[in-house]
A and B are shown apart, each in its own frame.
Chain A
Amino acid sequence: AQSVAQPEDQVNVAEGNPLTVKCTYSVSGNPYLFWYVQYPNRGLQFLLKYITGDNLVKGSYGFEAEFNKSQTSFHLKKPSALVSDSALYFCAVREGGSQGNLIFGKGTKLSVKP
């Protein structure tokens, strides 16, 4: 069965420092991996995805993620955090690499302090 794990409930970072939000997955076959961000009382916004190709994927708002097949990870990163990056981040994997259901991690709350 497919699954996604986000091992950290919360990540605290000082503004200007690099940030990493961790995600590991378990899926049969090739994974389609996604990162979404959720601001309070809002729906999810798409940040980036990995389908195939380069392991380093660049997305919105300066975020990037690195696909590591051997470690089955897809960590979200940003070189320099902003206070406005504070939000809830969800990692997700698509079943079977098709237009199917997304399976979400439990989410990681990112708090960036000035």
Chain B
Amino acid sequence: GAVVSQHPSRVICKSGTSVKIECRSLDFQATTMFWYRQFPKQSLMLMATSNEGSKATYEQGVEKDKFLINHASLTLSTLTVTSAHPEDSSFYICSATFVGGGNQPQHFGDGTRLSIL
């Protein structure tokens, strides 16, 4: 089945540092990848939609300069949290859909637990 690998699984770092999270589709090509944020005991919040070779589309209220997204190839998208602060601590999850997926489900990575001290 379709596998999405997300790395790292956990990050603990000091306030002010930048953190990069990778999302890879291992056995399929993904034109579209999605980045979500999940707060404790809450549902997923879509942050942005990442399309290969073009700029990401950010949801309202998400700072594009704060959360940099790059989707340079059909198998890799990255999310960089720049100058992270404690309020950025959260669980970040990526997902990907097939090329020409249409009604295909999204396949999710295992998520990244980000803790900013």
Contact = CB atoms under 8 A, between A and B. Distances in A.
B103 to A, nearest CB: 5
Given A106-B43, A107-B43, A46 B107 contact: yes
B103 A51 contact: yes
Interface of A: 32, 34, 36, 41-46, 49, 51, 90, 94, 97-99, 101-102, 104-107
B111 A42 contact: yes
Interface residues on B, range: 20 to 34
A36 B44 CA distance: 12
B49 interface: yes
B108 A45 contact: yes
A19 to B, nearest CB: 20
8 contacts: A32-B103, A34-B105, A42-B110, A43-B93, A43-B108, A44-B108, A102-B95, A107-B42
B80 interface: no
Contacts of B43: 90, 104-107
B44 to A, nearest CB: 5
A79 B109 CA distance: 29
Contact of B44 (A32, A45, A97, A104): A104
Contacts, number: 54
Indicate the member of B32, B101, B105 with the most A CB atoms within 10 Å: B105
Given A90-B44, A101-B49, A106-B43, A46 B105 contact: yes
B111 A43 contact: yes
Nearest to A42: B110
Contacts of B109: 43
Most buried by A among B42, B46, B106, B111: B106
B103 A36 contact: no
Given A104-B43, A106-B42, 19 more contacts: A43-B4, A43-B109, A44-B93, A44-B108, A46-B107, A46-B108, A49-B105, A51-B103, A97-B103, A99-B97, A99-B101, A99-B102, A99-B104, A101-B46, A102-B34, A102-B95, A102-B106, A106-B43, A107-B43
